[in-house]
Structure 1
Amino acid sequence: MIESNQLLFFFSALGAFNGFILSIYFAINAKKKSFTNYFLSLLLLVLSIRILKSVFFFFNPHLSNIFIQIGLSACVLIGPFLFLYLKSYQKEEKLNWKKHVIPYFVAITILGYFYPYVEHRAIWSTRIVCVIYTQWFIYIILSLKYLRPVFRKIKEKESLKRLEVWFLGIYFGVAFIWLAYVMTPYTSYIVGALSFTFILYLIIVLLIFKTNSESTFFNEKEKYKNKEIDKETLSNIDQKLSVIIEKELFLNPNFSLEEAAKELKVTKHILSQYVNEVLGKSFSSLIKEYRIEKAKKLLESHNNYTIENLGYDSGFNSKSAFFTAFKKTTGLTPAEYQKNCLK
């Protein structure tokens, strides 16, 4: 029995300990520092504090009340740091991190001063904890906004970048830990800590996967650095790329980079590099643009197309994928676009 408790303590505390180590690493030893790294560091820090409090409280119920208060207070910043970490990769949006951190930090500090856990344990254990977990959940919901492009890619069966896989791991990891704590009345108080250890090691696997020779610290490296395309090849691709449009190869919903490379008689790697570096977009985005242009022409010349048929005739494999891509590219729905053309 003693040995099983020791193992339980070891595995539940392991996550918190490694969380602190990773938090320090992300903040100090990142190969390529950016503000986003600090949000990730702080997210892991507050998670680790919350987990450590759970571990020691489970094995030592007489733990100092001030430590319990610090552990619960840390939860107030988990949601905001998750939200800010994901938002920080959206270049078009202002970060404005102060309004998501300072008010909560000040509020929980004042609350802890006037209503310390040692004297108001019942209030903390019921009302305050309920408010904290609700605020955490609200930020989990708000954070979904920044994963919509990833979910859209999954829906359209497009391949995900490693950074996008990482975002999903972080998001669902935090959401699962929140769920583990909410469900403790029906399971065990230590489940949250064990969940963190399990999830953290999954994240470490992702970290190892990401930090190979082709990427820096959670930022996509210049993929083709020191591998410039010679001028002759550039000119050759420039001339041949129009073949995809002329033959309307993009109308095949499964048209791939490999098929395009074979048609243009270049390697898949060279074509990918050309599209990324010269055209400044991904291959899937390029093909999507061709399909939207085809759809626009059909709308301009015909007025009896249904959205579903229009999407399929333009090379999309679903109505929703077509509608979303068209609206994103033109700022109009297909019906609105056609109405404008007929004016």
Structure 2
Amino acid sequence: MIHTSTKYMDLKTQLLFFFSALGAFNGIIVGIFFLFYAKPKHRSHLFLGLLLLALSIRVGKSVFYYFSYDLADVYIQIGLFACWFIGPLLYFYTKSALEINRTIKKEVKVHFSILMLIALTLFIGFPRAQYEDLWFSVFIQSIYTQWIIYVAISGYLIWKHYTKLRTVKNSIPSFKFWFLSIYIGNTIICIAFNTAHYTSYIVGALSFSFVFYLLILLLLFAKKRNELLFLNPPKYLDKSINTKEAQLWINKLENLMKEEQVFKDTNITLPKIAKKLAISPNRLSMLLNDTMKISFSNYLNKKRIEEAQKIIKNNPNYSLETISFDCGFNSKSAFYAAFKKHTGKTPSKYRDLTNS
């Protein structure tokens, strides 16, 4: 009886280790997928991939520490270092997924520069092996508290966009279910780690495995994956343009602008240009936004301003108002604003410098 009981306990421990570590291992693989291979490319995939990697490293550290108490301090610090970034990555995943059209590049750079500076100060300036008491009494608690704060801020951001989420018309399983599963799952994992001293240190790892496989099931059984991953999935997400084809269409577009100068038409639209090129409006939009990295309106204005610059050089006596209408602008104010944006100078200043 004693021998059987010992064997049963060994098997139980092995199963516990297997299920705890499985989520962390596969989380790293899926994190790498979202970082480098998920298509279409989107900034929310970047933050989701990094979030999964940070969670996987943190959970992996917990698993090995639970089953091997003599784990080297350097691995423990790597796990805590990853934990420091989980909350911020959740916040920026939430922000990038909900605020699709908002630019956050500068905010991200400033934010993570400060976080990295604090992290390097703590982990290099106060090694855990030398300051173990300080880490247990202050630093670890600070890391977990920071995680909770970011979970709360992300929750507030979701609440602020509640109306937008409520009106999403995607089929089930939809973006709402996917997105809220990530947030709620992260919250559960955060609570599990923060209450480990009341339950068990391994609960956080088991929670991550459960949440992770729930997300994988959602991905596998989603009929329309883009509707699962995006709040407002563009219609052309699954129809990428390869480099050779893109260059062909760019050449055709540039030739059309040069030969027919359609930009001079104040009523020109993207569908009208697409019809002239014999390409779908969605595909032309993708060509401009994804390949050429410019919006349709900015592309038109760029062509109009280039033409205006030629006219100003060759006809210094033309009135600026005449030039603006000749180049396709429907108002003088729109011409001035576009000219200043593209050249850094007002039209009159540019004319003075050109003809001086």
State whether TM-score is above 0.5.
yes
TM-score category (smaller protein): 0.5 to 0.7
Supply the distance in 2 between the matched residues of 1:68 and 1:224 (Cα, whole angstroms): 41
- In the other structure, the counterpart of 1:194 is 206
Aligned to 1:18: 26
Q: SS of the counterpart of 1:145?
A: helix
Q: Flag the structure with larger Rg.
A: 2
Pairwise CA distance, 1:74: 1.0
Fraction of identical pairs, as percent: 40
Q: Which of 124, 127, 140 is matched with 1:113 structurally? A: 124
Q: Matches of 1:87 and 1:11 in 2, distance apart?
A: 32
Within 5 Å, which residues of 2 pair with 1:65-144?
65-89=73-97, 90-95=99-104, 96-144=107-155
TM-score, length of structure 2 as denominator length: 0.58
Unpaired runs of at least 5, structure 2: 1-8, 240-281, 283-356
Structure 1: runs of 5+ lacking an equivalent:
227-276, 278-343
Q: 1:223, CA displacement in angstroms?
A: 8.6
Partner of 1:306: none
Which amino acid in 1 is paired with 2:70?
H
Report the Cα offset of residue 21 of structure 1: 0.5
Deviation, structure 1 residue 213:
4.6
Equivalent residues in 2 for 1:215-234 (5 A)? Answer: 215=226, 218-219=229-230, 220=233, 222=235
**Counterpart contact for 1:32–1:217, Cα < 8 Å:** no
Other-structure match for 1:30? 38
- Cα displacement string for residues 303-326 of structure 1 (whole angstroms, at most 9, x for unaligned residues): xxxxxxxxxxxxxxxxxxxxxxxx
* Bigger shift: residues 53-62 or 23-32: 23-32
The answer to whether the Cα contact below 8 Å between 1:20 and 1:44 also exists between their aligned partners in 2 is yes
Distance in structure 1 (CA, Å) of the matches to 2:224 and 2:168: 24
Question: Per the alignment, do residues 126 and 159 of structure 1 end up closer, same or farther by CA in structure 2, a change over 3 Å counting?
Answer: farther
1:36 and 1:50 map into 2 onto residues whose CA distance is: 21
Task: Give the corresponding residue for 2:221.
Answer: 209
Q: For the residues of structure 2 that align with 1:63 and 1:40, how far apart are their CA atoms?
A: 28
- Report 1:287-306 matches (<5 A): none
- 1:177 aligned onto 2:185: no
Contact 1:30 1:217 in 2 (8 A): no
Q: Between Structure 1 and Structure 2, how many residues are aligned?
A: 225
Once residues 92 and 54 of structure 1 are traced to their aligned partners in structure 2, the CA distance between those partners, rounded to angstroms, is 38
Residue-by-residue CA offset, 1:103-140 (whole Å, 9 max, x unaligned):
11221112111110111112112210111111111111
CA distance in 1 between partners of 2:140 and 2:237 (Å):
50
Q: Counterparts of 2:178 and 2:164 in 1: how far apart (Å)?
A: 15
Determine the C-alpha separation between the residues in 1 that align with 2:45 and 2:183.
Answer: 15
| Aligned-partner residue type, residue 91 of structure 1 | I
2:40, 2:238 within 8 Å by CA — same for their partners in 1?
no
